[in-house]
């Protein structure tokens, strides 16, 4: 059900009082790395936890559905768009805080910018994350990882709004962090800030590892085309890309969406495809891999839509 005029006016009034920018019918294809999807009814940019909490309280009072958006790097949005309010956790232009060997970062900051800041500070531990096209909050949410490292390896604590919109702070060991999972998955909790505990290092050594990670990404991954990163989780005892390749699915296409010829684990939107093109291709891949190998592929990508 679309928002009523009264709901929209109340939310806009709150945005204006709080000084945060907003837009109606904002195309979400501009805010996802797949470059697909319809509009958000009301799109609001937030840069602090207090603003976020106040808008969430009002949305609950008004019975307005809410979605939290970071960099949109692991997200598919329906071609019909998203009902209600989309809160975009916007970057503060890379404002990081160092305390000893710890770095505190707002959830909306770019993960690669955090890696660059750690390099500048001669702190090691985040090199694996360089080039992951997500936000700090999104990386914590899914315990992002690559090239032998995961967020949980260096995360110290997270500040967040719980499901009652009360601010909480928990150490990493209490966040149920596992492969592409955290306690935040499937909840109404909102990650606000994260602290990473790193080690002093040599800037040349740190940069060399980051450069190597980026070389591997560019060499192996189809970064030249819009995508949501790795489309499927790694099944136990196998690798998704190898299974997809084994089934002869590289190059399989639905409309503007295609299984990458460069890396079978990526579905790319190389010809301005729709969300439905991507969804249909995902289902084709899952069905053929299940039929030919017996493995049930689970997607990493989340879906929003009407």
SS3 content of the chain, % helix, strand, coil (to 5): 35, 25, 40
**pLDDT at residue 1, as a whole number:** 57
Same-domain check for residues 127 and 26: no
**108-166: per-residue pLDDT in tens?**
999 999 999 999 999 999 999 999 999 999 999 999 999 999 999 999 999 999 999 99
**56-104: per-residue pLDDT in tens?**
999 999 999 999 999 999 999 999 999 999 999 999 888 899 999 999 9
Beta strand 190-197 with 167-171 is: unpaired
Same-domain check for residues 208 and 245: no
**Measured between alpha carbons, how far is 1 from 39 in angstroms, rounded to an integer?**
14
Structural Rg of the chain based on CA atoms: 20
- 12 versus 95: which is more confidently predicted? 12
Residues designated as active site: 180, 230, 300
**168-213: per-residue pLDDT in tens?**
999 999 999 999 999 999 999 999 999 999 999 999 999 999 999 9
Same-domain check for residues 108 and 205: yes
Same-domain check for residues 213 and 105: yes
Q: Reply yes or no on whether the pLDDT at 276 is more than 90.
A: yes
Look up the CATH number of the domain holding residue 143.
3.30.465.10
Same-domain check for residues 172 and 248: no
Mean pLDDT of 216-236: 95
- Report phi then psi at 134, rounded to 5: -130, 180
Q: How many domains does the chain have?
A: 3
pLDDT band at 305 (very low <50, low <70, confident <90, very high): confident
The closest of 34, 50, 58 to 42, measured between CA atoms, is 58
**Measured between alpha carbons, how far is 144 from 45 in angstroms, rounded to an integer?**
24
| Run of H or E including 130 | none
Same-domain check for residues 182 and 113: yes
Look up the CATH number of the domain holding residue 252.
3.90.78.10
Q: What domain range is 25 assigned to?
A: 5-89
Whole-number Cα distances in Å, 117 to 2, 44, 63, 257: 42, 27, 40, 35
Q: Reply yes or no on whether the pLDDT at 301 is more than 80.
A: yes
**101-121: per-residue pLDDT in tens?**
999 999 999 999 999 999 999
Q: How far is CA 48 from the centre of its chain?
A: 18
Q: Is residue 225 part of a domain?
A: no
Beta-bridge partner residues of 299: 232
Q: How many CB atoms lie within 10 A of CB 74?
A: 26
Same-domain check for residues 48 and 116: no
Same-domain check for residues 102 and 85: no
Q: Is residue 207 part of a domain?
A: yes
Same-domain check for residues 265 and 284: yes
**pLDDT at residue 16, as a whole number:** 96
32 CB-near residues (< 8 Å, 6+ apart): 72, 73, 75, 76, 77, 228
Mean pLDDT of 21-33: 96
Same-domain check for residues 127 and 84: no
Q: Is residue 234 part of a domain?
A: no
Same-domain check for residues 70 and 156: no
Mean pLDDT of 31-38: 96
- Report phi then psi at 159, rounded to 5: -100, 135
Whole-number Cα distances in Å, 198 to 123, 138, 269: 6, 19, 36
Same-domain check for residues 194 and 110: yes
Beta-bridge partner residues of 98: 103
Q: Is 114 helix (H, G, I), strand (E, B) or coil?
A: helix
């Amino acid at each position: 059900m679309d928002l009523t005029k009264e709901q929209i006016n109340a939310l806009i009034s709150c945005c204006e009082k709080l000084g945060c920018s907003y837009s109606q019918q904002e195309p979400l294809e501009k805010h996802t790395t797949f470059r697909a999807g319809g509009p958000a009814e009301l799109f609001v940019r937030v840069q602090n936890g207090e603003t976020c909490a106040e808008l969430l309280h009002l949305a609950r009072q008004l019975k307005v559905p809410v979605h939290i958006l970071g960099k949109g790097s692991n997200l598919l949005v329906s071609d019909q768009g998203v009902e209600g309010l989309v809160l975009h956790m916007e970057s503060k232009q890379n404002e990081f805080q160092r305390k000893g060997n710890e770095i505190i970062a707002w959830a909306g900051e770019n993960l690669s910018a955090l890696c660059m800041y750690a390099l500048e500070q001669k702190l090691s531990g985040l090199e694996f994350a360089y080039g992951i096209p997500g936000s700090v909050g999104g990386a914590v949410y899914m315990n992002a990882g690559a090239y032998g490292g995961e967020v949980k390896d260096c995360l110290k604590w997270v500040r967040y709004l719980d499901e009652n919109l009360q601010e909480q702070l928990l150490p990493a060991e209490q966040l149920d962090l596992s492969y592409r999972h955290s306690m935040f998955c499937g909840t109404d909790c909102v990650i606000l800030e994260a602290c990473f505990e790193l080690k002093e290092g040599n800037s040349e050594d740190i940069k060399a590892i980051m450069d190597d990670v980026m070389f591997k990404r560019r060499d192996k991954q189809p970064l030249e085309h819009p995508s949501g990163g790795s489309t499927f989780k790694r099944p136990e005892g196998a690798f998704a890309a190898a299974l997809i390749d084994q089934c002869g699915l590289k190059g399989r296409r639905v409309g503007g969406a295609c299984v990458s010829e460069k890396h079978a684990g990526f579905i790319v939107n190389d010809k301005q495809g729709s969300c439905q093109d991507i969804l249909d291709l995902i289902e084709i891949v899952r069905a053929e891999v299940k039929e030919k190998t017996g493995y049930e592929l689970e997607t990493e990508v989340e879906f929003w839509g009407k």
